[in-house]
A = this chain, B = another copy of it.
Amino acid sequence: MRPTAPRILLLAFSWLSTAPACAGDALASWHEGKAKQAIVDFVRRTTTPGGRDFVPPEERIAVFDFDGTLTAEQPVYGQVAFCADELRPGQENGKRFSPDPLVRRIQALPLERLNDLSYAETGRLWALGMSGASADAVRGKVRRWFVSAEHPTLRKPRSALLYEPMLEVLRLLQSRGFRVFIVTGTLSDYLRAISERCLGVPMENVIGSQLRRRWSGQPPHEVEREPEFGDLVNGAAKVLEIDRRIGLRPLMAFGNSDGDLDMLTQATSGPRPGLGVLVRHDDAAREFAYDRASPVGALDQGLDLAGPRGWQLVSMKKDWRAVWGNCAHTDSKATVWTAY
């Protein structure tokens, strides 16, 4: 077959899209160093055809934790702050659930003290804060909150509290044929509201915790979210969900707390190449400094295991030239953003 003109264009484009990118420049917010080098080298090794560690595109899976890995998680998770805001006295869910003693208690607590809630109480906080509206309506609420509610100490909206160096990693991997998944304890419904526009990750690539659901089969034929927490996706549950949803061992896993260690272990075991990366919060000046004893995002066992397991510890202070990145699309595509 003689190549036709469109065919030549196609071939040319194929070449362009598979030509080795200058991966170093793609991580401009990273200082040169061991961590950056490990990421860049791993991507090069696994995507260079003919190399010993080459992995075909269909098997290039990378998984990322969300809170503390892609965005600030102190003093409380974004999901917690959002739900507490939804349960304030003037808000729809605040009014609806006001007879509930837990809701009255939440309304009286300062934000940081929400970390004192038990596991079951936190599950109920999420369930009551997120329930009552259709999935579409919940997405709209999360989006408005995400671009407007101010972080209590950093004084920026959540959409400006993403980690620029990690956004660069997401983009680098996607440009090299990796499919990127967010595997998070936060509710899928919350994160899916912003994953496509802020992270470039499609909704179905969010693997998060869930509220219980019900399908009655009756009009209006909507899946209802019940005000009841289902399963938390953390620790071993992250590994099991990755296996259920994707069915492949990831090549790369990025996390920041002990809840991510199973996922890093999964990615860095077995015959294929694997890279595990832990973000270390050691930058009190620009973000926060915390590790072993933190009530949120504790990194304890991970600090001990990183060496023996060959995981990369990323120092926010030393490895990151810049910290803060913005949700890319909130301004220019505001119409579509709220059109759900």
Q: Which residues of A are interface residues toward B (Cβ below 8 A)?
A: 6, 9-10, 12-13, 16, 56, 58-59, 135, 179, 181, 188-189, 192, 196, 202-206, 210, 213, 215, 217, 219-223, 236, 239-240, 243-249, 262, 265-266, 269-270, 336, 339-340
Shortest distance between the CB of A42 and any CB in chain B (Å): 19
User: Given the complex, which residues of B lie within 8 Å of A217, measured CB to CB?
Assistant: 236, 262, 265
* Cα distance A204–B182 in the bound complex, in angstroms: 13
* Cα distance A247–B340 in the bound complex, in angstroms: 13
Closest to A224 in B: B243
Are the CB atoms of B6 and A10 closer together than 8 Å? no
Closest to A241 in B: B213
* Cα distance A192–B247 in the bound complex, in angstroms: 8
Are the CB atoms of B269 and A204 closer together than 8 Å? no
Known: A188-B244, A204-B204, A210-B244. 16 other contacts (CB 8 A): A58-B203, A59-B340, A135-B247, A203-B248, A204-B205, A206-B247, A213-B243, A215-B240, A215-B243, A215-B262, A215-B266, A221-B265, A221-B266, A221-B269, A222-B269, A245-B245
Are the CB atoms of B339 and A56 closer together than 8 Å? yes
Closest to A203 in B: B247
Are the CB atoms of B336 and A246 closer together than 8 Å? no
User: Given the complex, which residues of B lie within 8 Å of A192, measured CB to CB?
Assistant: 247
User: Given the complex, which residues of B lie within 8 Å of A266, measured CB to CB?
Assistant: 215, 221, 223
* Cα distance A10–B15 in the bound complex, in angstroms: 11
Q: List 13 A-B contacts (CB under 8 A).
A: A179-B204, A203-B247, A204-B204, A204-B245, A210-B244, A215-B236, A215-B262, A217-B236, A217-B265, A220-B269, A222-B269, A223-B240, A223-B243
User: Given the complex, which residues of B lie within 8 Å of A340, measured CB to CB?
Assistant: 59
* Cα distance A204–B189 in the bound complex, in angstroms: 18
User: Given the complex, which residues of B lie within 8 Å of A188, measured CB to CB?
Assistant: 244, 247
* Cα distance A240–B214 in the bound complex, in angstroms: 7
Closest 8 CB pairs of A and B: A221-B269, A223-B243, A13-B13, A204-B246, A9-B12, A215-B239, A192-B247, A215-B236
Q: Select one of B12, B58, B206, B222 contacting A270, CB under 8 A.
A: B222
